[in-house]
A and B are shown apart, each in its own frame.
Chain A
């Protein structure tokens, strides 16, 4: 399967009377975006109001609490549309051509539960730790209709964000990209013939799937309900995997991460040179121990069926998924498939405690994405998009985290994407 990505470099985002991409500037009329977002039954039923704001790198701006970050993209050739099974019809994506508004992002913000978390600082100490301090962010702050239940509201805000990204992404449909890159994986036999000497490498992509605020969707399906399966890496570039995960800000995979998965990017860089990138295996992180066994058994079975020599395994979240990570690792290793794991650590403030809730001697090649317990102090910002009401209550916060001057003393885990376990962050060993 072959996909071309056309990158349209966005250098600025501005509110305007029109919606367009011209000369690297994204012009957005918030009323037009709002009208498109509200053309959905869930959004109409559960979201009382939506306000848009813009946050740019270097500004004294804090966005919180952040739900999701989404990159605007549009399908210009080939079957299907972006976010299949949710926004577009469920046709298989990942081939043809897709345009990307590179440098722009849609950020959804606003409370869902009383301990809603996630901070993006556009400057200062906190900006070092989140990749979204470097994007031009169109921020959508939503307010629920009174009495809306959390699960209905989460779904409505998820849809609202995806719809906003779809609308903005479509502005790049007829724009000539600044750069076009091609990504292709092959059938099993074809790949083996093309690269007979190269090791066959796959990517075991673990998805957060535990319950309300802890979910991931694949072609619109709640991934709790899947058994491990195969997906072409290019499908993920067209939005086949979406985040419904609103907790563990530091190490959740936002939809932006799924679209820009650095493991996929790096494997494509080496594809046909030092390795043969065969495919991705997606598997879940359920709560029931028998589900964990089934998921890791199936991922191992698929890897063997594909005659893989090695897999990279990335985790999402904390605690419970550590068990899935180690099960995935040991089952692959025991059948002769080498593994490299990507995780983050909860090793205490001083970094001296045991990092994961599970371990095994076979897990001897592990890349850390940082210690989420590390303490940071975030300076006050001139402007807050969203609300600071939740800082003391969310992961990484404590009583008095929010100081009277607006600065925040907390653990790193309060920052969106700080220790992302795909390795899409600023604290990897790269």
Chain B
């Protein structure tokens, strides 16, 4: 597990909050979309916060999943142009995908939450399965 110091997770995924808030600093934005999270992180990166995970993690497409979690630093530093470009390109990429107009069931939504959570856990070297068990989540 990566050190919880000097990092924070920007997310709209409630599963991330349920399992990881015991370990990490989390900024949770309930009900906002995938693109909105990208924009929030872009603004942080433009202000000089370090980007620590790739904004387009996962092969589940931006018009498919509604959940996104991104890790950034907690200290304001010099603006990193490469990270600004990464965020800008992520938003351009997101906008290429047409809306799907699909209504998801709770079952689908939970699966999307789970995938976003496990991608984040992979980045943080956090044991995703142990985390679910400890949080008494058995039916995802």
Mark A residues whose CB is within 8 Å of B. 113-115, 147, 149-151, 208-214, 224, 245, 247-248, 252, 286-292, 317-320, 322-323, 346-349, 353-354, 357-358, 373, 392-395, 397-400, 413
CA distance A214 to B120 in the complex (A): 12
Shortest Cβ distance from B138 into chain A, in angstroms? 8
Interface membership of chain B positions 58-101, coded 1 if the CB is closer than 8 angstroms to chain A and 0 otherwise? 11111010000001000000000001011001101100111011
What residues of A have a CB within 8 angstroms of the CB of B28 in the complex? none
Q: Are A290 and B52 in contact (CB under 8 A)?
A: yes
Q: By the criterion CB–CB under 8 Å, are B101 and A212 in contact?
A: no
Binary A-proximity of B112-125 (CB < 8 A = 1, otherwise 0): 10110011111110
Q: Which residues of the other chain, A, contact B136 by a CB distance below 8 angstroms?
A: none
Is B54 an interface residue when CB atoms closer than 8 A count as contact? yes
B3 neighbours in A (Cβ, 8 Å): none
**Chain A residue at minimal CB-CB distance from B70:** A287
Are B56 and A319 interface neighbours, CB within 8 A?
A: yes
B interface residues (Cβ-Cβ under 8 A, vs A): 2, 51-54, 56-62, 64, 71, 83, 85-86, 89-90, 92-93, 96-98, 100-105, 107-108, 111-112, 114-115, 118-124, 128-129, 132, 138-140
CB distance from A348 to the nearest CB of B (A): 5
Interfacial chain A residues near B54, Cβ < 8 Å: 287-289, 292, 319-320, 323
Give CA–CA (A347, B111) in the complex, Å. Answer: 27
**A312–B2 CA distance with the chains assembled, in angstroms:** 33
B57–A115 touching, CB < 8 Å: no
Whole-angstrom distance from the CB of A353 to the nearest CB of chain B? 5
| The residue from B58, B89, B92, B102 contacting A393, defined by CB atoms under 8 A apart | B102
A320 to B85, CA, bound (A): 13
Chain B residues within an 8 Å CB radius of A373? 96-97
Q: Which of B54, B64, B101, B102 counts the most A-chain CB atoms under 10 A from its CB? A: B54
Q: How far is the CA of A208 from the CA of B102 in the complex (A)?
A: 27
Chain A residue with Cβ nearest B2 = A288
Task: Write out the residue numbers on chain A whose beta carbons fall within 8 Å of the beta carbon of B124.
Answer: 288
Contact (Cβ within 8 A) B102 A399 = yes
Does B89 lie within 8 Å of A349, measured CB to CB?
no
Contact of B122 among A211, A317, A318 (CB under 8 A): A211
Chain B CB within 10 Å, residue with most, of A147, A209, A247: A247
CB-nearest residue of chain B relative to A147?
A: B139
Q: In the bound complex, how far is the Cα of B97 from the Cα of A397, in angstroms? A: 11
> Most B CB atoms within 10 A — which of A147, A318, A320?
A320
The closest CB in chain B to the CB of A400 belongs to B101
- Other than the given A247-B60, A320-B58, A392-B102, 15 more pairs (CB < 8 A) read A114-B111, A115-B108, A115-B111, A149-B132, A150-B140, A210-B59, A212-B128, A213-B115, A289-B53, A319-B56, A319-B59, A347-B96, A353-B96, A357-B90, A413-B61
